[in-house]
């Protein structure tokens, strides 16, 4: 990569980045209700923050982080009651939309924020700050110049062979790799590299998907450590493997959020279809109410026994015969509105197909 070390953009990596770009576009073009978008974003931030802390050795209960994220949308001076408040404050602000320029000074500001126990305190001296200072440790004097070179190279990626679909995930991955390699501050460089990656990866309309990369790294920690470069290491093969690993993580995160948004849309379509069937009298009121009950939240699978004896279903079937319940279930299964699995009966909202006659049919 010129002065930053050269990595060959091979066909496999190009295909991965193109897939990531397609997923991002798909997510950005898929509509969602504001309440759903807010809920997904808050959950993504909470999970990412817990993983970011765990990567630095601090375990935070997810429920506690959820409450903190919901209560502190601006993520201002309060970093929460954690051991590394500066890290979490920086993580949440970066992933919530705070911009970061491709400059060495921005990196230094971010590092100071990560290291600070309070907004007023900086990260202290480091090999990065000791550029040209008499008595600085031998071999450390190039840290600032290396970061300057890296930032210029990253800013010019669009004019290189890296100008391909998915550049907005390649640039963050490359920044992550080379910041690990340069290790400019000598402390918390890993956390800094992951945060800088998130700042560059963030894109509108993706529900803070980049925050889930922390969870991806935590879940693949052995591979992450094996692929991470040593200080000042130059290896094209390692760089290419690391970048591919990051892009695969981006694909996994985008796929996860796409699935959540699209599942909600399918549920909305199903709800409307059920209402239409009721208006056409294709469903009895009892059958319609049963489907509505099964559509609420993450409703569990039910059995005939549960329909007859457990609330809220007893409101519908408490005075009905078991034969009536079975007749309703068979009818709803034939209509493709219910499906059976090993746990019982569930609402079927996997897919809505329009047949030749224009009649709606659901299939799992």
Q: Is 348 left (phi over 0), alpha (psi -120 to 50) or beta?
A: beta
The one-character DSSP state at 226 is: H
Q: Is 269 helix (H, G, I), strand (E, B) or coil?
A: helix
Integer-rounded Cα radius of gyration of the chain: 26
In whole angstroms, how far apart are CA 212 and each of 1, 248, 253? 28, 12, 6
**Looking at per-residue confidence, does 39 or 98 come out higher?**
39
Domain ranges (residues) in the chain: 2-261, 283-363
- Whose tokens are 């970048």? That residue is 243
> Which letter, b or e, does each residue of 30-44 get, where b requires 16 or more Cβ atoms within 10 Å of its Cβ?
eebeeebeebbbbbb
> Can you give the pLDDT at residue 323?
93
Mean pLDDT of the chain: 82
Average pLDDT value for residue range 346-353:
66
> Binning pLDDT at 50, 70 and 90, where does residue 158 land?
low
pLDDT tens-digit readout, 248-258? 999 999 999 99
Of 128-137, 177-186, 294-303, the range with the lowest mean pLDDT is 128-137
The domain 2-261 having CATH identifier 1.10.287.3240: the answer here is no
pLDDT tens-digit readout, 104-155? 999 999 999 898 874 444 444 455 554 443 443 444 447 888 899 999 888 8
Measure the CA angle with vertex 186, ends 184 and 192; round to 5°.
Answer: 65
Is pLDDT of 78 > 70?
A: no
Q: Residues of the chain with pLDDT > 90: what percent?
A: 44
**Looking at per-residue confidence, does 303 or 161 come out higher?**
303
Average pLDDT value for residue range 37-61:
94
CATH code of the domain made up of 283-363:
1.10.10.10
Is pLDDT of 161 > 80?
A: no
> Can you give the pLDDT at residue 139?
43
155, two tokens:
């800013």
Is pLDDT of 275 > 90?
A: yes
Rounded to whole angstroms, how far apart are CA atoms 81 and 65? 10
Is pLDDT of 10 > 80?
A: no
> Can you give the pLDDT at residue 325?
93
């Amino acid at each position: 990569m010129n002065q930053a070390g050269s990595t060959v953009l091979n066909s496999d990596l190009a295909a991965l980045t193109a897939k990531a770009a397609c997923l991002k576009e798909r997510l950005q073009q898929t509509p969602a209700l504001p309440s759903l978008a807010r809920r997904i974003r808050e959950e993504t931030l909470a999970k990412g923050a817990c993983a970011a802390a765990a990567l630095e050795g601090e375990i935070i209960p997810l429920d506690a982080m959820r409450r903190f994220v919901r209560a502190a949308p601006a993520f201002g001076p309060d970093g929460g009651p954690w051991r590394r408040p500066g890290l979490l404050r920086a993580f949440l602000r970066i992933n919530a939309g705070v911009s970061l320029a491709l400059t060495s000074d921005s990196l230094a500001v971010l590092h100071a924020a990560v290291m600070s126990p309070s907004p007023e305190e900086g990260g202290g001296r480091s090999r990065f700050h000791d550029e040209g200072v008499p008595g600085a440790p031998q071999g450390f004097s190039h840290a600032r110049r290396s970061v300057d070179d890296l930032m210029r190279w990253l800013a010019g990626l669009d004019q290189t062979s890296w100008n391909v679909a998915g550049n907005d995930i390649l640039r963050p991955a490359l920044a992550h790799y080379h910041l690990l390699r340069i290790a400019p501050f000598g402390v918390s460089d890993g956390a800094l590299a992951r945060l800088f990656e998130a700042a560059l990866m963030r894109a509108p309309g993706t529900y803070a998907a980049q925050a889930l990369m922390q969870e991806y790294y935590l879940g693949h920690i052995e591979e992450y450590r094996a692929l991470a470069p040593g200080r000042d290491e130059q290896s094209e093969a390692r760089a290419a493997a690391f970048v591919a690993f990051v892009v695969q993580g981006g694909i996994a995160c985008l796929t996860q959020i796409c699935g959540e948004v699209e599942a909600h849309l399918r549920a909305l379509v199903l709800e409307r279809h059920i209402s239409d069937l009721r208006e056409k009298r294709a469903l009895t009121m009892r059958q319609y109410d049963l489907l509505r009950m099964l559509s609420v939240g993450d409703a569990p699978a039910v059995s005939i026994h549960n329909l007859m004896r457990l609330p809220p279903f007893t409101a519908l079937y408490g005075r009905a015969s078991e034969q009536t319940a079975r007749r309703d279930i068979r009818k709803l299964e034939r209509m493709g509105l219910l499906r059976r699995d090993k746990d019982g009966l569930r609402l079927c909202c996997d897919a809505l197909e329009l047949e030749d006659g224009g009649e709606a049919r659901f299939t799992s």
